[in-house]
Amino acid sequence: MNRSDASREGTGRSPNRAPVVPRRALRDGVYDAILEKLLDGSTPPGSSMSIDSLARELGVSPTPVREALVQLENTGLVSRVALKGYRVAEPLSPGQMAELLDARTVLEVAAVERAVAHTDDLVPELRAAHAQHVLSAHRVRKLRGEGGQPPDYADLREYFTADWEFHLTIIRAADNGFLLQLVESLSAHVHRLRQTVDHGDMDLDEAVSEHAAILAAFESGDPQRPVEAMRAHMSALARRAAVDL
């Protein structure tokens, strides 16, 4: 047996075996495409999702679609109905919304408490994240002012991304991978919350102002002020969400 044969035998791989990475990339791409459909309003709550129809629309086989839907089921965005395939989840109930914001408060306040130890490194990144949030909020205001109509999801995507990135910047500064993973696992539900509230009465000014207060709290050097500012922001989010239901 020569070295190449021994190497193949030792690894258990056939020289003709297809690499795993392309399939994983395909599955992830299908997941992202279906997630976009769930979040942009093109598949309303309660509507059915056919594996075969999605496969045809995305130009892939049913297998990566099925795998993506199983993964999405774990987020709560879709549910499996016996003998009927999958169905888009209903909007968050008031109770679910309250639980989601409570979970975010627990995790994000914990992140702030840990991030204050890295304030010197965090503040420049947080300033940049806040500036992007301010800019994206201005663009949404401009769109709303020009047409007189609430922006659609495509217009809001940049704003939502900038808003979430401000929070993630703090959470990454906490330097705890498991904490970051827990918060990121809630990201799909945060999008569900945004779907549930009324986009016609968005909290642009309030969110920008509260983020500015959090940034100023970190800049102050007082380790307790950022914690208080984040608690205040999450409490305000909960109040606004309750009003929008």
List of domains in the chain? 3-88 (1.10.10.10), 94-244 (1.20.120.530)
Give residue 23's pLDDT.
65
Q: Kind and range of the H or E element at 49?
A: strand 48-49
* Ranges in the chain, pLDDT < 50: 3-4, 6-15, 18-21, 199-200
The 10s digit of each residue's pLDDT in 47-73 is: 999 999 999 999 999 999 999 999 888
User: Quick check: 48 and 85 in contact, CB under 8 A?
Assistant: yes
What single string gives the DSSP state of each residue in 143-161? HHHHHSS---HHHHHHHHH
Query: Distance (Å, rounded) from C-alpha 49 to C-alpha 2?
Result: 52
User: Quick check: 8 and 14 in contact, CB under 8 A?
Assistant: yes
Query: Distance (Å, rounded) from C-alpha 154 to C-alpha 195?
Result: 13
- Joined together, the tokens standing for residue 10 give 């030792």
Give residue 94's pLDDT.
85
Give residue 233's pLDDT.
97
Give residue 209's pLDDT.
97
Query: Distance (Å, rounded) from C-alpha 59 to C-alpha 55?
Result: 6
What single string gives the DSSP state of each residue in 67-128? HHHHHHHHHTSEEEETTTEEEEPPPPPHHHHHHHHHHHHHHHHHHHHHHGGGHHHHHHHHHH
Give residue 152's pLDDT.
61
Give residue 216's pLDDT.
98
Give residue 141's pLDDT.
84
Burial 149-166 (b: 16+ CB within 10 A, else e): eebebeebbbbbebbbbb
Give residue 175's pLDDT.
96
Name 7's bridge partners. Answer: none
Burial 7-31 (b: 16+ CB within 10 A, else e): eeeeeeeeeeeeeeeeeeebbeebb
Give residue 82's pLDDT.
83
User: Quick check: 232 and 210 in contact, CB under 8 A?
Assistant: yes
Give residue 77's pLDDT.
83
